[in-house]
């Protein structure tokens, strides 16, 4: 691919990449030529490397440039963090800077300072980037390359308006690369908005990885207890295997987690009710656990590069596209994997009909007597009592964690999200940033810093509210002139003299 030696060295030593994947082999030369690209490729095909490698190679050849030139938009915080980690490994011992701007991390001020340093590469989620465009002095006028990763997911999450606003902030003379697992009409609309005469590249059709063995389980009873009994049986058959279980919603995630913990499984939960800090911790811990079990909503179905997942279990039959993304969490980089899906005969029949041209899907036979025994155990009063006690214990632990987090927030000063509401202008922002810098450097203690910031907040709120309920300047002047004329007239006619006139004159002044 004729890449710079520094980059090739980091790819092989830091990331252990020896050969480019099909998408990387196709896209990297085209990206290096500066073409606008619209790329369709299946999940797990190495798309991050396909745009990261040419961006870094371009920066190395050009040298240091004091502005942000590359912008990468990602649909989720987790995927953005993963892209950030890949870039950090690639740019070790290089004079290239990368910044991550995502929501949920409660560090808006730190991100503002990071943006002011104008890093070479900016990785962001749409919502937080719009937040900074609105409230910060962010400069996107030097962007030369825009990457829209997982474009179909971006649109599925409802970010079309945000993407339009972001694109409007960028120079028209730029290179844009759009990556998507599917190219539907919405993606076509986004391409028309952001790309100029793009080269369309379909590296792979949307299909199931052939390294993944597909199996299904017919569920005769759609009740939770019956499905959980089948799940427990499957996990017992595949003990010691790194597993992701996809649930329908966050309620089912919590329910499954509670039941599995009651049976001494160490579980990791992933759903929208977790904070960004909690999600990051869960992903890190699960990545390091060689035999962990993670229960997730579709939050973990896209883009996340989790090592060595051998088993995927789906408690429901999703639509075809979601099925492709879910099972794509295993069998990555030519490894073998197993995907087991629970469903009724009708649901499984429709899925098999769509998959039959690509892969053979086989029924997984479970021991009916054993399942019935599990159903009786999990539906017993003793087990329900055990669940109730465990649930209370877990709630207490969660409350302690939340209390600890609140204390940490209190110790670290005021809530950074709150500060944004009283930023009036650039001058106010700089003043607050100066206080934060002085606190970090030890020139101010936290108590003094909070006092200064509180005074600035009060003053800012006064400035903000000043004159809200008063008449406009021109109207006020007209009223004063009218009163003065009346006073003069009354004085001439002898009706307005003495102490009352002086008091009213003071009021007018």
246 vs 485 pLDDT, higher one? 246
Whether residue 283 is found in the same domain as residue 221: yes
pLDDT digits 0-9 by tens, 37-86 = 999 886 667 889 999 999 999 998 877 667 899 999 999 888 898 899 99
DSSP 400: H
Angle at 315 between CA 312 and CA 321, to 5 degrees: 70
Average pLDDT (19-40) is 90
Beta bridge partners of residue 98, listed in sequence order: 121
pLDDT digits 0-9 by tens, 106-126 = 578 888 888 888 899 999 999
pTM of the model: 0.58
Look at residue 248 and tell me whether its pLDDT is greater than 80: yes
Whether residue 319 is found in the same domain as residue 455: no
Whether residue 196 is found in the same domain as residue 216: no
Burial class (CB in 10 A: 0-12, 13-18, 19+), 404: exposed
Query: Which range (129-138, 191-200, 440-449, 476-485) has the least confidence?
Result: 440-449
Helix or strand run (H / E) with residue 399: helix 381-411
Phi first, then psi, for residue 484 (nearest 5°) are -60, -40
Output the pLDDT for position 260.
93
Output the pLDDT for position 137.
74
Look at residue 206 and tell me whether its pLDDT is greater than 60: no
CB 338 within 8 A of CB 310: yes
In a domain, 26, yes or no: yes
Whether residue 19 is found in the same domain as residue 88: yes
pLDDT band for position 423 (cuts 50, 70, 90): very low
Look at residue 468 and tell me whether its pLDDT is greater than 90: no
Query: Which range (48-57, 240-249, 398-407) has the least confidence?
Result: 398-407
Whether residue 323 is found in the same domain as residue 423: no
pLDDT band for position 416 (cuts 50, 70, 90): very low
Domain boundary among 182, 202, 222: 202
Rg (CA), the chain: 30
In a domain, 36, yes or no: yes
Domain boundary among 379, 400, 428: 379
Helix or strand run (H / E) with residue 269: strand 267-270
CA distances from 238 to 232, 233, 365, 449 (A): 10, 9, 14, 56
Whether residue 219 is found in the same domain as residue 340: yes
Dist. CA 68–CA 71, nearest whole Å: 8
Structural domain boundaries enclosing 254: 212-379
CA distances from 500 to 76, 495, 496 (A): 70, 11, 8
Which CATH number is 297's domain given? 3.40.50.300
Query: What are the residues whose beta carbons fall under 8 Å from the beta carbon of 263, sequence distance 6 or more?
Result: 232
Kindly give the interhelix angle for 47-62 and 5-13, rounded to the nearest 10 degrees: 150
Whether residue 275 is found in the same domain as residue 173: no
Burial class (CB in 10 A: 0-12, 13-18, 19+), 352: middle
pLDDT band for position 419 (cuts 50, 70, 90): very low
Whether residue 93 is found in the same domain as residue 39: yes
Q: How do the residues of the chain divide into helix, strand and coil, expressed in percent and rounded to 5?
A: 55, 10, 35
Q: How far is CA 223 from the centre of its chain?
A: 33
In a domain, 425, yes or no: yes
Burial class (CB in 10 A: 0-12, 13-18, 19+), 61: exposed
Output the pLDDT for position 415.
44
In a domain, 388, yes or no: no
Output the pLDDT for position 113.
87
322 vs 424 pLDDT, higher one? 322
Output the pLDDT for position 363.
85
The fraction of the chain above a pLDDT of 90, given in percent, is 32
Assign 260 to helix, strand or coil: helix
Dist. CA 270–CA 299, nearest whole Å: 7
Domain count, the chain: 4
Q: Among 432, 406, 384, 246, which Cα is nearest to 322's?
A: 246
Look at residue 420 and tell me whether its pLDDT is greater than 70: no
In a domain, 391, yes or no: no
pLDDT digits 0-9 by tens, 356-402 = 666 677 888 889 899 999 999 999 999 999 999 998 888 888 777 76
Query: What are the residues whose beta carbons fall under 8 Å from the beta carbon of 247, sequence distance 6 or more?
Result: 253, 256, 295, 296, 297, 315
500 vs 65 pLDDT, higher one? 65
Q: What is the DSSP string of 222-258?
A: -SHHHHHHHHHHHHHHTTT--EEEE-SSHHHHHHHHH
Look at residue 476 and tell me whether its pLDDT is greater than 70: no
In a domain, 404, yes or no: no
Average pLDDT (338-359) is 81
Whether residue 271 is found in the same domain as residue 225: yes
275 vs 405 pLDDT, higher one? 275
Dig out the tokens for 248 from the structure.
């329908």
| Range picked from 98-102, 414-418, 460-464 for highest mean pLDDT | 98-102
pLDDT band for position 304 (cuts 50, 70, 90): low
Whether residue 257 is found in the same domain as residue 332: yes
In a domain, 390, yes or no: no
In a domain, 112, yes or no: yes
Q: What is the DSSP string of 105-162?
A: S--HHHHHHHHHT--SEEEE-HHHHHHHHHHS----TT--EEEE-SHHHHHHTT-HHH
At which residue do the structure tokens 């329910």 appear?
A: 255
Whether residue 135 is found in the same domain as residue 223: no
Output the pLDDT for position 418.
41
Q: Write down the mean pLDDT value for the chain.
A: 80
Output the pLDDT for position 438.
64
Dist. CA 190–CA 180, nearest whole Å: 11
Whether residue 425 is found in the same domain as residue 368: no
At which residue do the structure tokens 């960004």 appear?
A: 276
CB 74 within 8 A of CB 124: yes
Assign 215 to helix, strand or coil: strand
Dig out the tokens for 5 from the structure.
């030696």
The sheet with strand 337-343 has its strands ordered as: 267-270, 293-296, 243-246, 311-314, 337-343, 212-218, 361-363
Phi first, then psi, for residue 390 (nearest 5°) are -65, -40
Q: Among 136, 171, 155, 142, which Cα is nearest to 73's?
A: 155
Output the pLDDT for position 383.
92
Assign 180 to helix, strand or coil: strand
């Amino acid at each position: 691919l004729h890449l710079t030696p520094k980059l090739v060295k980091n790819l092989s030593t830091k990331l252990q990449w020896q050969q480019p994947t099909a998408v990387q082999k196709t896209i990297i030369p085209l990206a290096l030529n500066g073409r606008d690209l619209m790329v369709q490729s299946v999940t797990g095909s190495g798309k991050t490397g396909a745009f990261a490698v040419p961006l870094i190679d371009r920066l190395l050849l050009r040298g240091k440039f004091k502005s942000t030139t590359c912008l990468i938009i990602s649909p989720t915080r987790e995927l953005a963090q993963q892209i950030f980690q890949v870039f950090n490994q690639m740019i070790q011992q290089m004079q290239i800077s990368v910044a991550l701007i995502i929501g949920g991390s409660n560090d808006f001020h730190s991100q503002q300072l990071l943006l002011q340093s104008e890093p070479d590469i900016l990785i962001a989620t749409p919502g937080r980037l719009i937040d900074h465009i609105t409230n910060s002095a962010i400069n996107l006028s030097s962007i030369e390359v825009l990457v829209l990763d997982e474009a179909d997911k971006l649109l599925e999450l409802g970010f079309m308006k945000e993407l339009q606003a972001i694109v409007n902030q960028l120079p028209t003379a730029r290179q844009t690369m759009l990556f998507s697992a599917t190219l539907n009409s919405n993606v076509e609309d986004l391409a028309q908005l952001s790309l100029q005469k793009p080269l369309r590249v379909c590296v792979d059709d949307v299909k199931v990885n052939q390294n993944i063995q597909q199996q299904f389980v017919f569920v005769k009873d759609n009740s939770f207890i019956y499905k959980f009994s089948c799940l427990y049986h499957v996990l017992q058959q595949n003990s010691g295997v790194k597993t992701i279980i996809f649930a329908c919603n966050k309620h089912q995630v919590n329910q499954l987690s509670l039941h599995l913990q009651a049976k001494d499984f160490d579980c990791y939960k992933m759903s929208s009710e977790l904070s960004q800090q909690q999600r990051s911790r869960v992903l890190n811990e699960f990545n390091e656990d060689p035999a962990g079990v993670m229960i997730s909503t579709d939050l973990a179905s896209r883009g996340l590069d989790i090592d060595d997942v051998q088993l995927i279990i789906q408690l429901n039959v999703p639509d075809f596209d979601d099925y492709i993304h879910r099972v794509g969490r295993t069998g990555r980089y030519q490894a073998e994997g197993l995907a087991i899906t629970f469903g009724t005969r009708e649901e499984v029949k429709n899925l098999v009909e769509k998959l039959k041209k690509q892969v053979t899907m086989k029924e997984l036979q479970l021991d009916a007597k054993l399942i019935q025994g599990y159903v009786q155990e999990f539906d017993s009063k003793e087990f329900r009592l055990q669940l109730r006690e465990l649930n209370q214990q877990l709630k207490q632990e969660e409350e302690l964690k939340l209390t600890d987090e609140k204390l940490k927030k209190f110790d670290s000063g005021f809530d950074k999200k709150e500060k944004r509401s009283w930023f009036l202008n650039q001058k106010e922002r700089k003043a607050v940033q100066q206080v934060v810098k002085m606190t970090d450097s030890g020139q101010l203690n936290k108590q003094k810093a909070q006092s200064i910031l509180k005074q600035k907040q009060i003053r800012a709120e006064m400035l903000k509210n000043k004159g809200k309920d008063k008449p406009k300047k021109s109207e006020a002047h007209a009223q004063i002139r009218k009163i003065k004329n009346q006073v003069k007239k009354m004085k001439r006619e002898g009706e307005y003299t003495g102490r009352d006139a002086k008091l009213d004159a003071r009021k007018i002044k």
